């Protein structure tokens, strides 16, 4: 809950002083409440990339970038990854508390019974080229849900908001797995209600009609943990995109499609695919210094993918959990000395001892190790970001629900610092 303080900030411009109130939350930096600044001073604030801007008030996820701390509704990500499961974490993010046993059974039962897609949606998959990037398919089919689930698009009806939320959490694994099956020319596998969430996703990805598929518990446990680690992350670019789309009153399926589109970028969720491609391009530890030099070269646009973060100026706690999980999964799968993992560990060690990375506080982020596990599980790199989108859907929906249920919701409409041509009159050809 936002709390007013007795503190204010005085801003003096051209001899006029205005006082700006300072508000505080339960954790993190206080804020200057500048909502009336333009009315009082005729001035905008200027903050491209929103490096110093709190866009909203939220109770869901807290990040302390200096400490490398991530809390979902107050619970440390390390504890949730170790002790919980993705559907329980989904309930926590959506409703604010860990569920009782009966609440969990009710919620997971609802999700289980919404995993199938409207059969006619199969036609959307078949309209894509086989070599379409799975993110293009996932983004397109997600938006197309607006055309099929008309009974859950009215954002003013709490029941419809709840149904849309359950539908998307339930159906994204089906959409993502079918995008994969379509890209490899295999038949779609339907969800099975007797399987847990992560197990079901793996069987939809890797089972074939020609033989029985038994889900490997090592893989389903690792998959579930990867979903938990990616579920939410405060006001990142894609969540802010979902919030901005939702502020116009757009239907929930369209808002989540907007989030998927934003996540695709290599500076954001696309970094897991880019990071593994980079590690493979490096190929062996003796080429690491060449890439570190490129990353440090101001004239070279190359950046170490999976490194650095807008908020974390310490280890991303998710990358620590992911690194440990990578060791466990590869060992349990009998994959010893995986060259890509060796390069990743050596790269991390060298970078963290390098003055450039120390001074700029650049550490591995969630995307640095995730690709190594996903590849070992059998996924191609093109499937890494769709899996990120699958997991982040519950975070986007939690943030969307929080925003839509705020009675003071306003459409997001930033202003600008205009630096273009001042007023001028139209000129005919002969005068140009």
Provide the minimum distance between the beta carbon of 359 and ligand SDX in the complex, in angstroms, as a whole number. 9
- The CA distance from 278 to 273, in Å, is 9
Stretch 75-114: interaction string toward ligand SDX, x if CB under 6 A: ----------------------------------------
33 is catalytic: no
- Which member of 216, 309, 327, 423 is catalytic? 309
- Which member of 33, 367, 406, 423 is catalytic? 367
* Choices 125-133, 214-222, 267-275, 377-385 (CB under 6 A): range interacting with ligand SDX: 267-275
- The CA distance from 266 to 274, in Å, is 7
With CB under 6 A as the contact rule, the residue among 73, 181, 233, 243 that binds ligand SDX is: 233
Identify which of residues 114 and 233 has a Cβ nearer to ligand SDX in the complex: 233
Contact call for residue 258 and ligand SDX (CB under 6 A): no
- The CA distance from 286 to 343, in Å, is 9
* 3-class SS of residue 247: helix
Residue with tokens 């339960």: 26
List the interface residues with ligand SDX, window 309-338 (CB under 6 A): 309-311
With CB under 6 A as the contact rule, the residue among 110, 303, 313, 345 that binds ligand SDX is: 303
Residue with tokens 């019974």: 113
367 is catalytic: yes
Contact call for residue 267 and ligand SDX (CB under 6 A): yes
**What sign results for the dihedral spanned by CA atoms 179, 185, 191, 194?**
negative
With CB under 6 A as the contact rule, the residue among 170, 255, 366, 404 that binds ligand SDX is: 366
| CA distances (Å), origin 138, targets 29, 106, 127, 172, 310 | 37, 28, 13, 8, 27
Q: Which residue is nearest to ligand SDX (CB)?
A: 308
Contact call for residue 181 and ligand SDX (CB under 6 A): no
Stretch 276-295: interaction string toward ligand SDX, x if CB under 6 A: -------------------x
Residue with tokens 């060796």: 342
Q: Hey, what are 273's tokens?
A: 């695919």
| CA distances (Å), origin 123, targets 126, 144, 153, 192, 343 | 5, 11, 22, 21, 42
Query: How far, rounded to the nearest angstrom, does the alpha carbon of residue 349 sit from its chain's CA centroid?
Result: 26
Provide the minimum distance between the beta carbon of 119 and ligand SDX in the complex, in angstroms, as a whole number. 33
Cα-based angle 227, 231, 236 (whole degrees, multiple of 5): 135
Contact call for residue 384 and ligand SDX (CB under 6 A): no
- The CA distance from 375 to 400, in Å, is 32
Q: Which residues are catalytic?
A: 309, 367
Kindly list the residues in this chain that would bind ligand SDX in the complex (CB under 6 A): 49, 233, 236, 267-269, 271, 295, 303-311, 360, 362, 365-367
């Amino acid at each position: 809950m936002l709390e007013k303080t007795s503190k204010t900030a005085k801003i003096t411009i051209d001899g006029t002083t205005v006082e700006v109130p300072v508000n505080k939350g339960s954790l993190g930096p206080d804020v200057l409440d500048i909502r009336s600044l333009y009315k009082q001073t005729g001035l905008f604030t200027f903050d491209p990339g929103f490096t110093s801007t709190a866009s909203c008030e939220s109770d869901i996820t807290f990040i302390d970038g200096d400490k490398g701390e991530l809390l979902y509704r107050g619970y440390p990500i390390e504890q949730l990854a170790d002790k919980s499961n993705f559907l329980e974490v989904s309930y926590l993010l959506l409703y604010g508390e860990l569920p009782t046993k009966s609440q969990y059974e009710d919620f997971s039962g609802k999700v289980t019974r919404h995993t199938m897609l409207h059969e006619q949606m199969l036609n959307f998959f078949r309209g894509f080229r086989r070599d379409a990037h799975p993110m293009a398919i996932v983004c397109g089919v997600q938006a197309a849900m607006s055309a099929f689930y008309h009974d859950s698009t009215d954002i003013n009806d709490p029941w419809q908001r709840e149904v849309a939320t359950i539908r998307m959490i339930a159906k994204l694994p089906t959409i993502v797995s079918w995008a994969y099956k379509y890209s490899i020319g295999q038949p779609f596998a339907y969800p099975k209600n007797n399987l847990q969430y992560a197990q079901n996703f793996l069987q939809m990805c890797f089972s074939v009609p020609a033989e029985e598929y038994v889900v490997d518990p090592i893989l389903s446990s690792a998959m579930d943990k990867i979903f938990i680690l990616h579920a939410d992350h405060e006001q990142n670019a894609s969540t802010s995109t979902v919030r901005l789309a939702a502020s116009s009153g757009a239907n929930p399926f369209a808002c989540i499609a907007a989030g998927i589109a934003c996540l695709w970028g290599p500076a954001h969720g696309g970094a897991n695919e880019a990071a593994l491609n980079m590690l493979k391009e490096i190929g062996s530890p003796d080429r690491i210094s060449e890439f570190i030099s490129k990353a440090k070269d101001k004239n070279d646009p190359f950046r170490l993918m999976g490194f650095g973060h807008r908020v974390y100026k310490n280890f991303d706690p998710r990358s620590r959990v992911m690194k440990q999980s990578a060791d466990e999964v590869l060992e349990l799968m009998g994959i010893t000395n995986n060259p890509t993992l060796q390069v990743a560990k050596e790269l991390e060690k060298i970078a963290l001892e390098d003055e450039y990375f120390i001074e700029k506080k650049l550490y591995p982020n969630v995307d640095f190790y995730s690709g190594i596990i996903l590849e070992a599980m059998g996924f191609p790199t093109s499937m890494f970001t769709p899996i990120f989108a699958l997991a982040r859907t519950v975070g986007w929906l939690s943030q969307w629900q929080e925003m839509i249920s705020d009675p003071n919701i306003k459409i997001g409409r930033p202003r600008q610092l205009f630096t273009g041509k001042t007023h001028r009159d139209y000129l005919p050809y002969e005068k140009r």
